[in-house]
Chain A
Amino acid sequence: MTISESGASAVFGALADPTRRRLLSAIAEQPATATELAGDLPISRQAVVKHLSALADAGLLERERAGREVRYRVTPAPLSDAVSWIAEVGAQWDARLASLARTLDAGNRS
């Protein structure tokens, strides 16, 4: 298992929850604190903090101090996992297809 694949797995887990997707979407538009986010949602600030922690643990959010609060912003870093997945799995398919072309080419020439 490569690091990039397990990282992608953490991202999927964090995004499996609709509330977390909504929070992430809101923060992607504008960095915000848990209090600000809780004001827009029918859930407690405490619940928002829990969701934000899950998103941050997956590497999707970064924290920064904002006075006595913590402001969250989206970090694009783990999304590069998608790119490495494309590269890695794509290379595997290229190798399979090249070997298939060789096999069938040889088979039909002899």
Chain B
Amino acid sequence: MVDRIERELLLPAPPEEVWEVVTGPGWLADEVALELFPGGDARFSSNGEPKSGWVEEVLAPGTTEGGGGRLAFWWGTDGDPATRVELTLKPDGDAATRLRVVEARPLELLDLVGIPLPGTSGPSYGPAMLMAA
């Protein structure tokens, strides 16, 4: 699927600490206002460009069996279709977290009609260091 961005990164901190940073101010956008419950409002702003959406799922680390966590929300700019973002946190050993990020947009329609997308066999984007971490 080409309408999907997927990244995974191993971080030297426990899930609770990673959760604080990724849901806090300054990471998802310059300004972040997230209501951390299903159906909650999600508002963002970066470089003066606002984005808004809603929260789909919140599983804070520490409230789950296994100590992982998950945040799923939708965001978009006015007049454009929203995209879905899912952050998954899994503990890795004692003090590390495997963070997985998926952002997808409803482009499955193009797959549905069976049109080949150009560039799908090209190299994946992003610094190799992030994937190798």
Chain A contact residues, majority secondary structure: helix
Is B118's CB under 8 angstroms from A97's CB? no
Is A9's CB under 8 angstroms from B2's CB? no
Q: Mark contacts of A96-108 with chain B using CB atoms, 8 A cut-off: 1 yes-contact digit, 0 otherwise.
A: 1111110111011
Complex formed: what's the CA distance from A16 to B107 in Å? 11
Number of A-B residue pairs at CB separation under 8 A? 111
Is A83's CB under 8 angstroms from B22's CB? no
Q: B11 an interface residue at 8 Å Cβ cutoff?
A: yes
Is A82's CB under 8 angstroms from B18's CB? no
> Could you say which residues of chain A place their CB within 8 Å of the CB of B106?
12
Select one of B2, B21, B110, B122 contacting A103, CB under 8 A. B21
Task: Output the least CB separation between B133 and chain A (Å).
Answer: 7
Size of the B side of the interface (Cβ < 8 Å), in residues, is 42
Is B3's CB under 8 angstroms from A85's CB? yes
Chain B contact residues, majority secondary structure: loop
Q: B48 an interface residue at 8 Å Cβ cutoff?
A: no
Is A94's CB under 8 angstroms from B127's CB? yes
Task: Output the least CB separation between B54 and chain A (Å).
Answer: 19
Is A9's CB under 8 angstroms from B18's CB? no
Size of the A side of the interface (Cβ < 8 Å), in residues, is 38
* B residues neighboring A (CB under 8 Å): 2-3, 5, 7, 9, 11-13, 17-18, 21-22, 27-28, 77, 79-81, 83, 95, 99, 101, 103, 105-107, 109-110, 112-119, 122, 125-127, 130, 133
* A residues neighboring B (CB under 8 Å): 1, 5-6, 8-9, 11-12, 15-16, 21, 24-25, 28, 74, 76, 79-80, 82-83, 85-87, 89-91, 93-94, 96-101, 103-105, 107-108
